[in-house]
Each structure stands twice: as C-alpha cells, then as structure tokens.
A and B are shown apart, each in its own frame.
Chain A
C-alpha cells in the first residue's frame, strides 16, 4: 500500500532563516505531488505541484520554492522566512488524470 511521510512534524524558526521541508511517498511510481498550506485552521491553498522529476509549477507567487530531485521526493524551501510563512504545510500525492489525492501528516511551521 502507499504511504506518505513528512518531516519535521513541527518547526519553529526565526524570521530570515532558511527552510527545508521534506515529503516522500512509498508504494507508487511517478505520482503527481502537491504542496498545500493551511493557515488559521481552515481552508487549504495549493502552492506547488509536480508531474515528474524536476518539473515544478507554482500556483501562487510567494517566498517559497519547491523541488523534486527524485521520483517520490518533494521538497519545500525558502531562503529567508517571513512571519506570513507560518502555517500548516501538507504534502499530497495523486495519480494522473484526476485521481484521488492522499495527504501526509503535515508540518506545523511557526515563524517568530
């Protein structure tokens, strides 16, 4: 069966520091991968998606970037965090062609 992992589970970082969040998927090949952010406990916003290694598309302009160095690995990064980057970051995977999406456990990021 497929599983999706995210780490770290929680993170507290000062403003201006770098960020790296990792997501890995097991039990599937060539998945579509997604990063979402949930702010204030409601509603998720799609940040990035990837259909393959090295292929990243951004849905919203922001202070973050994403990379996909391996088929089942998706990384969310920032060079300098802002207060507004605080939130709950969720990684998801899905098949192609409008399939169901399955979410990881998430990372709670607090920027102070």
Chain B
C-alpha cells in the first residue's frame, strides 16, 4: 500500500516562530488532507489539498503532486498550535479511506 512519511517527528519552538512540516508519499494520490490533533485527542481537519496551495489565517499548505510531497507552514506560532499534525492520503482502497503518516509532534513554548 501507499507509504506516508512525515518529518520532523518532533519539533519544539518558541512562541512567535515559524515552522514547516513535510509529508512525502510513495504514490500518486487523489486526496491529501492535513489534520491537527489537540492534547485531548480531537482531530481537526486543516486542509484538503491534493494539489496547489491554500491558506487559512496563519496556516498554509502546498502540495506538489508530481513530486509526491506536501508542506504545512505555520507562521507566528502560538501555544495553542501545540499538538500532533498528521498528513493523510487516500489509501487506494474503497470509499476514500485515508492512510495516515505517523505525525509531527509540535510543542510551542511561551
């Protein structure tokens, strides 16, 4: 099946810093999504971005489908940005089930 690799696995930053999270995938995809999991376990859908660039406030994402990678940018980090960020792609099976990477654990220190 398709492989999804995320880097870095862990990242510690000071409040106000910028960061770039990377997601590499092993095959072509029709569906790529970024999620944020907060400390209570809730998964929030940040972006649906199979290709191109999108922005939502301090967050933006870019997917280069031909080169099989996606980037999530976080600018002017806040402590509430802490948590685990997941990249997920369609698994190639039915009904658009997702294959997740192992995530990037982000800690923003005040």
Contacts and interface: CB of A to CB of B under 8 A. Distances in A.
Interface stretch (B64-72, B73-81, B95-103): B95-103
A92 B37 CA distance: 14
A98 B100 contact: no
Interface in B17-73: 30-31, 33, 35, 40-45, 48, 50
B42 A43 contact: no
Contacts of A106: 41-43
A3 B72 CA distance: 26
Interface stretch (A19-27, A49-57, A69-77, A78-86): A49-57
Interface residues of B, number: 28
Interface of A: 32, 34, 36, 41-46, 49-51, 57, 59, 88, 90, 92, 94, 96-103, 105-106, 108
A46 B41 contact: no
Given A43-B102, A99-B48, A100-B48, A90 B97 contact: no
Interface of B: 30-31, 33, 35, 40-45, 48, 50, 84, 86, 88, 90-91, 93-103
Contact of A44 (B40, B45, B48, B100): B100
Nearest to B93: A59
A98 B30 contact: yes
Contact of B100 (A32, A43, A49, A102): A43
A96 B30 CA distance: 13
Nearest to B30: A98
Nearest to A38: B41
B94 A51 contact: yes
B42 to A, nearest CB: 6
Contacts of A100: 33, 45, 48
